[in-house]
Structure 1
């Protein structure tokens, strides 16, 4: 079977700073061998992959820190900069606006310079954005910083789950994919926790740390083998896969599957919106967009962004401490999901999660039930929509379709974040009734249309839509 040319004319040089060639991988393999231990451990084909996942997980930690930052800082920022509640709500929502722009660009950036290159690019505006917030003397720097953060987060939110899905062996893909959302919840919890002890400017400076560690970390992990295969980089593709699976592992079957999948498309083929009418394209795209829309329309961002205010309205005296409790509960529940997702399957957890959210939202006026909503969200709707999006989109439309799905998620995150405070002022009960109806519809959506992807290779999943 013939394989495509190494690089497209005029593009190779631009990609080189972000790629590591076969010789680099072999050097990394020798280093990894001495660091990771015995060949038996490497034959388990998980150690190298887990190390890669832990490095890229710094991106979602940044994502979560951005999401959690507005809750513990609301009162202090309003007081120090003289903002109104509406102006602060705008500040909170601007990360979603920036993320929408990042989502639009994310697919093309990830396709053009690779998954690692796009994460490097995403880290830079995040760092600049946090610095702008920390030095803000008025709302303009505050807003600019939030937009820059959001742009970086928009790229991260697409690229990390795709990278993890493309490097993970099929028996671990669900658990490792859940690490993305687990890292988001860790970032949220850290923002809540540190917000109890440091003032908002210092908290913004601390927000720089995940990305400053991520950038050098990316130099020590391989590029996605599926992306390398798609770009025709045969030697790098096979060496990257060998590093990920272990030096003694037989990768011939997986290599042939990936080659067969990639050979069915051509790198120079342009996918138009008109092509999405084919079932193999529109159905997975509909499922991906639907899940990521419903993930936001259940109101979770409104709860997480303004949880301190919600607890105060509920009469909880130590609202910031209660907010941290929500963050800790979310981490624990998401950690349970990483263990369950490859055992129970995606669809079952989504149905259980949506059902639990529907019940808890019926009685969400009390803070105890607010925590119940966060638990049930974390069990399925938090992590699994991103996992399924990264699994079901065909490789030749992943950039375009992934951008559309990610954009829809961030658009509705912005809608919920902008309207949450206003809706809560209108009617707390009415607000959560709306969110409850969305959660109830999610049960129907998952039952009727979401496929089970547990235990199937990415290529098998994509062939099933033909």
Structure 2
């Protein structure tokens, strides 16, 4: 029986193969010796490892910001006498900053480079954390959270892109997925430390990884693919040699990077409306779909308001938060190790199925609570459901959308596409984070039933539309899913 996904990918392949600088390197069309010069035996050099570690310091800072609002809620509301509405605004204004930042994040990364964009993102984050830590009124909390939102949306785009552009194809998936591992680590630290320190001290602790990344950025190179895009040929050669090792032969890889960059740059004009050409439809649908699934399936609500959900289920918020902090790290670690072994799509499919089952458990538990029967079981079921949801989310949907999106967009449209995808993500994110408390007041069962229905649709989306990108160079992936006319 034919695979619908295979058919959809074949229909998007170019009618003729991209020109090859040296046909002798083409071994076969089945993928063994793909025609692209990057060696299958390419390893992680010290420079690649260092560059990735510095980049994912930003991921840790991102996780700290996402995880901050849950442990800080009770203390902040008591100290500053915030209402439910005011705290909902505090939680959601992060995504308002994200919406504004998403309008320019891709353009900034294309104009000033990946490394300078990471610098800029951390400056916004440091200003935001200081504003939150020393706030005495709601408005200064909002301004700090807004600044954090701008910083986060810059790093959410540029970090996966930077890592994907500097790493060899055989380790690209795992290294890019490390973004999510550090993000989850930051979130877990907030959940754990937030149980023993004040919300002001927690904000200052969250600023530390921002400072570490700013320092580390002085010691890592720029993306060679960005250097090719802006025509800095000598720096491209020097940077690629530094990344691959001083004894590595980079001539063919650098030639292909230049050739494909020039081809994509000449293929279409750069403008937001050109993004909606038919040849970009498939990667755009996949990117928007995966990005929208994260908040629509309830992940944002659970991350931001886990303590509130546990409290509504009459379960200990302290035990729940600590459990979330502990359970996520080993699962994310397993996801990083399995990404290049099993591929992106199988992990995404497993992730959405587990999340779907977990949401059904949570909805059922709150339904039982409403009947006033088995109340003692309700809290346990909600706890089990949230733990299961966290495991499912961590194994795939948490980090792999960023991996896939960093791989599927061609270099000439990557900035615009990234901005559009993240803009849509944060619009949905804002809607969920602002309305979640009100939805729970309306119906706890109804809220998680809605998430469950959307999650079931997400399983179908991953099954039939998401491509597998494992084991291919960025140039291969982008050539195969954009319809270029090369006669």
- Paired residues of 1:196 and 1:321 also in contact (CA < 8 A): no
For residues 399-447 of structure 1, what are the alpha-carbon distances to aligned partners after superposition, in whole Å with 9 as ceiling and x for unaligned? 1111001111122111111122111222221111111111111111111
Q: How much does 1:297 deviate?
A: 0.4
Report 1:296-375 matches (<5 A). Answer: 296-317=295-316, 319-364=317-362, 365=365, 366-375=382-391
Shift of 1:44: 3.2
2:329 & 2:45 partners in 1: Cα distance?
23
Q: Is the 8 A contact 1:326 1:374 kept in 2?
A: yes
Whether 2:83 is the aligned partner of 1:84: answer yes
Q: What is the Cα deviation at residue 186 of structure 1? A: 0.8
Pairing 1:5-16 to 2, within 5 Å after superposition? none
**Matched-pair contact (CA < 8 Å) for 1:133–1:204:** yes
Cα 1:386–1:398 change in 2 (3 A) is same
Which segment drifts farther, 46-55 or 188-197?
46-55
Q: Secondary structure at the match of 1:455?
A: coil
Instruction: Report the TM-score, using the length of structure 1 for normalisation.
Output: 0.88
Question: Residue 104 of structure 2: SS of its match in structure 1?
Answer: helix
Task: Tell me, yes or no, if structure 1 residue 396 matches structure 2 residue 412.
Answer: yes
Q: What is the aligned counterpart of 1:382 among 398, 402, 421?
A: 398
Distance 1:43 1:281, change over 3 A: closer
1:459 and 2:457 matched: no
Aligned residue number for residue 461 of structure 2? 445
Deviations along 1:229-257, one digit per CA (max 9) or x if unpaired, are 11111111111111111111122221122
- How do residues 18-167 of structure 1 correspond to structure 2 at under 5 angstroms? 44-167=43-166
- Say if 2:105 and 2:419, in contact at 8 Å, map to a contact too: yes
State the Cα deviation string for residues 438-466 of structure 1 (Å, max 9, x = none). 11111111111111000010000011022
Q: Partner residue of 2:207? A: 208
Question: Quick one: distance in 2 between partners of 1:414 and 1:463?
Answer: 34
User: What is the rounded CA distance, in whole Å, between the counterparts of 1:138 and 1:320 in structure 2?
Assistant: 27
Output the CA distance in 2 between the equivalents of 1:91 and 1:267: 44
Measured after TM superposition, the shift of residue 45 of structure 1 is 3.7
Between the aligned partners of 1:419 and 1:172, the Cα distance in structure 2 is 40
Give, in whole Å, the separation in 2 of the partners of 1:346 and 1:223: 26
- Secondary structure in structure 2 of the residue aligned to 1:264: helix
Whether contact under 8 Å (1:125, 1:148) holds in the other structure is: yes
The alignment status of 1:435 with 2:433, answered yes or no, reads no
Q: Deviations over 1:128-168 (max 9, x none)?
A: 11111111111011111000011100101000010011011
TM-aligned CA deviation for residue 275 of structure 1: 2.4
Q: Does the Cα contact within 8 Å between 2:44 and 2:171 map onto a contact in 1?
A: no
Please give the alpha-carbon distance, in whole angstroms, between the structure 1 residues aligned to 2:241 and 2:116.
21
Counterpart-to-counterpart distance in 2, 1:280 and 1:60? 32
Is contact 1:353-1:380 (8 Å) kept? yes
Q: Does the Cα contact within 8 Å between 1:96 and 1:410 map onto a contact in 2?
A: yes
Instruction: Supply the distance in 1 between the matched residues of 2:295 and 2:139 (Cα, whole angstroms).
Output: 27
CA distance in 2, matches of 1:43, 1:455: 12
Q: Is the 8 A contact 2:275 2:413 kept in 1?
A: no
| Post-superposition CA distance 1:39-96 (Å, at most 9, x none) | xxx9734432121111111111111111111101111111111110111011011111
1:421 maps to 437
8 Å CA contact 2:72, 2:199 repeated in 1: yes
Match of 1:171, SS state, is helix
Q: C-alpha separation between the residues in 2 aligned to 1:214 and 1:306?
A: 28
Kindly indicate whether the alpha-carbon contact (under 8 Å) linking 2:300 and 2:433 is maintained by their aligned counterparts in 1.
yes
What is the Cα-based RMSD across aligned positions, in Å? 1.5
1:268 CA drift (Å): 11
Matches of 1:464 and 1:269, distance apart in 2: 17
Whether the 8 Å contact between 1:44 and 1:246 is mirrored in structure 2 is no
What CA deviation, in whole Å up to 9, does each residue of 1:109-145 have, x standing for no partner?
A: 1000000000111111111111111111110111110
Alpha-carbon contact 2:47-2:242 (below 8 Å) kept: yes
Q: Number of residue pairs matched?
A: 424
Unaligned runs of 5+ in 1: 1-41
User: Contact 2:264–2:410 (CA<8 Å) still a contact in 1?
Assistant: no
1:96 and 1:352 map into 2 onto residues whose CA distance is 28
Instruction: State the shift of 1:189 in Å.
Output: 0.7
Report the Cα distance in structure 1 between the residues aligned to 2:319 and 2:58, rounded to whole angstroms: 26
CA distance in 2, matches of 1:435, 1:176: 30
Q: Distance in 2 between matches of 1:382 and 1:373?
A: 11
What residue number does 1:13 align with?
none
Tell me by how many angstroms 1:269 deviates: 6.7
- 2: distance between equivalents of 1:348 and 1:282? 23
TM-score, normalised by the number of residues in structure 2? 0.85
